[in-house]
Amino acid sequence: MSTLSDLVYAQGRSSEADVEWLHRLAGDGQLLADLAFADIVIWVPTADDSFVAVAHTRPSGAATLFYRDIVGDTVRPQWRTQVNDAFTQLRIVDSASPDWFEETPTRVRAVPIVRMLGTETSGPVVVGVLTRHTNLGEARTPSRQQITFNDCADDLFGMIATADFPDLTAPTSPRRGAPRASDGLVRIDVDGITTFASPNALSAFNRLGFDDELEGEDLLAVTTAILPAKRQFDESLPLVMAGRAPWRADIEARGVTVSLRTIPLKDHGTRVGAVVLCRDVTEIRHQEQELITKDATIREIHHRVKNNLQTVASLLRIQSRRTHSDEARDALTHAMRRVSAIAVVHDTLSEGLAQNVDFDDVFNRVLKLVAEVAAAPSTRARTRKTGTFGTLPSEYATPLALALTELVTNAVEHGLADKEGEVEIIAQRSEDHLEVRVRDDGVGLPEGQVGRGLGTQIVRTLIQGELSGTIDWHTLVGSGTEVTIDIPMRYIGRGQG
């Protein structure tokens, strides 16, 4: 299915500012649908003077009229005149009589979606039309809550037609657990006095410690009274509770956390009250805190592992300098380098929240370490990396870093021994595979005669055993050796999941 942006841009009649406005409005589509107890559809004009649906939201507390998604469909003939009148005349247009849709009586309201241009001398511009489709087949005597919700929806529809909603100063990405109309709704007047509180809203405030009726009370005064005296709270809270700013805030008392969102209600730019949505998010915030603590603990573990590995590497380095056997010194130096390569991965993991690493950054650090340690005094080796590894899960980054460390070390120590040359590492990543080639311009090796040392055994074990990949050694035409590693991406994807 095409996205809202794709559908709007395909018509060729809207600017980036128009698309951003429509995205903001569509983001509140569920709120509008729940308040109106109706389907909400957003239409934009087409090149042939018709309209196409770019967004659709079904109500969560009422029967939907559209069992099949209509996004991407052209406006139906029975709605076209009404939608066109709202678009061209900049006014809300209601259907004169019940409209029948698939044998269901409905009532349709068309609202022009208006935004103001940036300059003071510019007037309003209509970027689309919002339609409300109310199912009259389940008509029943409305409750006081339903009447209030409908009134709030009508106020918001009026604000949409006068460019007062959506509000660009409101936050665009709500935290997890953002309040919805069904979670709790409080309506206040221009002075901040509560005129209606839904049962869920009253329950939320009761859990905070308020044991009276909210209606007739100053919402800001109620909130201030139940907050602990010594606890600091968000400086924006008074503006939110008084209905003066379209912001969000959390209030905490008695171990309960309630998330709030305020939507100021305006009549042609003049504030006339506000809707305050509230939701008990105690469990959600507790889970978030647990995740934060867990992430911090994991990062600290990686940091300590890195420190311990660096200590081990330092001890190996000291021991190698004190030994009198060349063979023992080389073995200790190789072990020190391998431990240091693993430490680089843990150091990278300790810096971020995710257990995935940017392997290009890891390998650049490992490559510098290998080039410094492996080269003998008579060897002048240059290393160069081309291509991109991308992001890898930690369980794949460690064996791959260690395997590449061995391969580059072998290329420097054996392929370029006592000479000048270059080692090139080429990474090619696709959706199916990660291919890495380590190529040097050294002495090369006879075909079929691969080394049998510890380094080669380590590489085979890591690539074939831990990464389920393949590895191939061969001599280049002329001189030099190329080692090709191929790792299937399907296993990397499982590692990330």
Residue among 26, 10, 62 nearest 160 (CA): 26
- How far is it, in rounded angstroms, from Cα 410 to Cα 427? 18
User: What is the SS3 assignment for 452?
Assistant: coil
How do residues 365-390 score in pLDDT, each as one tens digit? 877 776 655 555 555 677 888 888 88
Q: Using pLDDT thresholds of 50, 70 and 90, give the confidence band for residue 110.
A: very high
Rounded CA-CA distance 47/71 in Å is: 17
Both tokens of 320, joined, read 């190698």
More confident residue, 205 or 337: 205
Mean pLDDT of 383-410: 84
Q: What is the mean pLDDT of residues 325-347?
A: 79
Q: What angle do CA 9, 11, 12 make, to 5 degrees?
A: 70
Q: Please give the residue that has the higher pLDDT: either 97 or 349.
A: 97
Report yes or no: 115 and 124 within 8 Å, Cβ to Cβ. yes
Whether the pTM exceeds 0.85: the reply is no
Q: What angle do CA 322, 326, 332 make, to 5 degrees?
A: 60
For β-strands 380-387 and 420-429, DSSP reports them as: parallel
The reported pLDDT for the residue numbered 61 is 86
Q: Which residues contact 434 (CB under 8 A, 6 or more apart)?
A: 389, 390, 427, 428, 486, 487, 489, 492
Contact 149, 182 (CB under 8 A): no
Span 120-174, pLDDT tens digits: 556 789 999 999 999 887 767 889 999 999 999 999 999 999 999 998 888 775 5
The model's pLDDT over 432-481, given as tens digits with 9 standing for 90+, comes to 888 999 888 877 765 545 566 677 888 888 888 888 888 888 877 667 78
pLDDT score of 331: 82
Mean pLDDT of 8-20: 89
> How far, in Å, CA of 360 to CA of 392, rounded?
10
Average pLDDT of the chain to the nearest whole number? 84
In tens, the pLDDT along 260-272 reads 999 999 998 899 9
pLDDT at residue 282 is higher than 50? yes
Given a cut of 80, whether residue 24 has pLDDT beyond it is yes
Residue with tokens 């709605």: 79
Model pLDDT, residue 266:
94
3-state DSSP assignment of residue 52: strand
Per cent of the chain over pLDDT 90 is 36
Contacts 24+ apart (CB under 8 A), 461-469: 462/399, 462/400, 462/402, 462/403, 463/399, 463/403, 463/487, 466/399, 467/396, 467/399, 467/400, 467/403, 467/491
Report the candidate in 334, 262, 337 with the shortest Cα–Cα distance to residue 31: 262
What's the rounded mean pLDDT across residues 177-181?
87
Give me the pLDDT at residue 494, please.
47
Percentage of residues in the chain with pLDDT exceeding 70? 88
pLDDT at 366: 78
pLDDT at 139: 67
Q: How confident is the model at residue 496 (pLDDT cuts 50, 70, 90)?
A: very low
Q: Give the residue-averaged pLDDT of 171-180.
A: 74
pLDDT in the model for residue 184: 95
Question: CA-CA distance, 275 to 444, in Å (whole number)?
Answer: 76
Task: Determine the Cα–Cα distance for residues 159 and 164; give it in Å rounded to an integer.
Answer: 5
In order of their start, the domains of the chain are: 4-161 (3.30.450.280), 181-280 (3.30.450.20)
pLDDT value, residue 376: 53
The pLDDT, as a whole number, for residue 445 is 66
**Is residue 373 within 8 Å of residue 333, measured between CB atoms?**
yes
In this prediction, residue 424 carries a pLDDT of 86
Give yes or no for a contact between 370 and 416, defined as CB atoms under 8 angstroms apart.
no
d(CA 81, CA 99): 13
* CB-based contact 52:11 (threshold 8 Å): yes
Chain-centroid distance, C-alpha 143: 39
- To which residue do tokens 């992430």 refer? 295
pLDDT single digits (tens) 196-241? 999 999 999 999 999 999 999 999 999 988 888 766 666 788 888 9
Whose CA is closest to 158, among 99, 94, 80? 94
Instruction: Pick the more confident residue, 98 or 464.
Output: 464
Measured CA to CA in angstroms, residue 6 lies from 191, 411, 453 at distances of 43, 50, 57
Cα separation, 323 vs 320, in Å, equals 5
